[in-house]
Chains A and B, each alone.
Chain A
Amino acid sequence: MSEKKRLKMRPRSGWAAFLTLIVALALVPFLGPPPYVTHVLILVLLFAYLGTAWNLIGGYGGQLSLGHGAFFGLGAYTSTLLFLNYGLSPWIGMAIAAGVGAGSAALIGYPCFRFGLRGPFFALATLAFGLIVVELLTAFREITGGSLGIFPPYLGNVPHLFQFASKEAYYMIILAMWALIVLLVRAMRRTRYYLVAIREDEEAAAALGVPVRKYKLLAAVISGALSGIGGTFYAQYFSYINPESAAGLALSVEILTVAIFGGMYGLMGPTLGSAVLTPISELLRIWLGGTYLGVHLMIYGLLLILVIVFMPRGILGKLEEVLKRELEF
């Protein structure tokens, strides 16, 4: 006797919601928002983008990386230095930054997976890798400007060199980057299934034919490449980078807090997390100014603890619980 009946299909309305969101966000600049609002929205999208990249290896794959700041920073330095020293357009630099991000992720990821570093030990190794990158970026000051960082010259509105006079242009670029990364991760369905299996039980996954090491490395490399691309965007938008702010542990922590707070088990979790957290930390930055540098990180640390203890699936998971439906699309 068959008990087979139709299982509820995933809600198709998600697609419509996602497209509506993109269109709505694309229309924002035409409403003439004050520059500061545009700035905060750019940061929200940037951290949504970075959180989504992190989530591939950190959330789906369950490998807690504290090294994403390094992949990001190396990307930022790559395109900036190539432009300053060789006049290479940062658009091309961005592609090379992706390669550098991927390469550095492989450099730390491969030995970690090869030697079976899991859980806290993967976190420790990536932490150390991030610290090494910051120290090296500072140490080679003849090239990198040391801890003072680099100010690329402002050239006005030169789109082919990834420089724009208006914030709105940067906004549109990061909006596109965010939309693309969400669609990319969404399209990697088999990879996500495999990564989740690896997160749950590596041996049981291997017994089902999942090449555990290969997929962990794949996720790390893609995640690193996407972070490197994010680094180039950051360098172009801020026209200033230094080792601590572009590659430091603080950045890695911001990225992972956004992802975990939003919900690391879902596609839209990091975006939700960034939408809530980034404006808060920006407001804190204005209110408290430069005197209390670490305040938003202090809050992030506290939030991390609270979220893990009280809602480990983040706000996305909480929403799904309340609405009793999956918010995937």
Chain B
Amino acid sequence: MGGIYALMSIGLNLIFGVIKVVNFAHGEFLMLGMYIAYWAFTLYGLDPYVSLPLVAISILALGALTQGLIINPLLKTKEINQVLATIGLMIFLENLALFLWKSDFRSVLTAYSAASISIGEMRISFARLLAFAVAMGTALAFYALLTKTDVGRRIRAVAQDAEAAELMGIDHRRIYIATFGLGGALVGVAAAAMSPIYYAFPTVGALFGPTAFIVVVLGGLGSFIGAMIGGLIIGIVESIAGVLTNAELAKAFAFAIFLLVLFRKPTGLFGERARV
């Protein structure tokens, strides 16, 4: 799962780093992606790794639309407005899924879902290993895109100084659209890779969204350590749930850790703490 968190977080971080917007609907992007993978599998028998490009492109489009139609018109207004807009999107998407597909848990059962590989004493799920590999591969490809291509250079230029980039003839609004789309595509890949190992349901985004935030707050852009800690926290939560046999307490515990992380590192990536 670590790879999945990393991928989600890189997307979230990319959007924040370049556009300075926290995408509250990030988890819901994941949820929609998982549903697309689920329906592609159920209706057309497409393996999630086959439908992966489709999922990625769909969520890319969703991200681009979000930026173009919602965030771009709000760029010059108060930060609180952008926050509210993505909260609105989060609520809308979550309840849209509830409306369309009910609150059932839906899973993609592939031939390899239950398969596992033994390395000495350890048994590792094949599907999880594959998801991790795909996530890492995507992350690497993303870095190549960011550093080697023209679009990547433009994105980095805008991230550093939107005004200066503007003077050099880069339309930062278009770059923002590309950035949000790219962030969405990363979530899309994560969603497809995740679908063989986890259920799709309307509130799955609310479950994984905060984890992605933890990873972002703890680490830098795509920080491996941040991703590890995020994964670790979920691991701890799962084991405590096992001991307590009380899933709610375990979840409360996870959110409490999330809060503590926020308090510990309020500045993290996100601007300076002022003395007032």
Contacts and interface: CB of A to CB of B under 8 A. Distances in A.
Direct touch of chains A and B (CB < 8 A): yes
Contacts of A292: 99
Contacts of A28: none
B213 A64 contact: no
Contact of A213 (B99, B264, B276): B276
Interface residues of A, number: 49
Nearest to B251: A135
A128 B276 contact: no
A121 B81 contact: no
A35 interface: no
Nearest to B95: A294
Nearest to A310: B73
Contacts of B258: 128
A186 to B, nearest CB: 23
Interface residues of B, number: 49
Given A300-B91, A301-B92, A202 B276 contact: yes
Contact of A135 (B81, B252, B266): B252
Contacts of B259: 125, 128-129, 132
Interface in A47-71: 62, 64, 66
Residue of B74, B206, B259 with most chain A CB atoms under a 10 A cut-off:
B259
B273 interface: yes
Interface SS, A side: helix
Interface string B242-262: 000010110110011011001
B54 to A, nearest CB: 25
B95 A297 contact: yes
A123 interface: yes
A123 B87 contact: yes
A119 B87 CA distance: 12
B266 A116 contact: yes
Nearest to B21: A120
A115 to B, nearest CB: 5
A117 B262 contact: yes
B83 A120 contact: yes
Across the A-B interface, give the 8 residue pairs with the lowest CB-CB distance, nearest first.
A301-B92, A304-B88, A294-B95, A301-B91, A139-B248, A135-B252, A120-B22, A298-B95
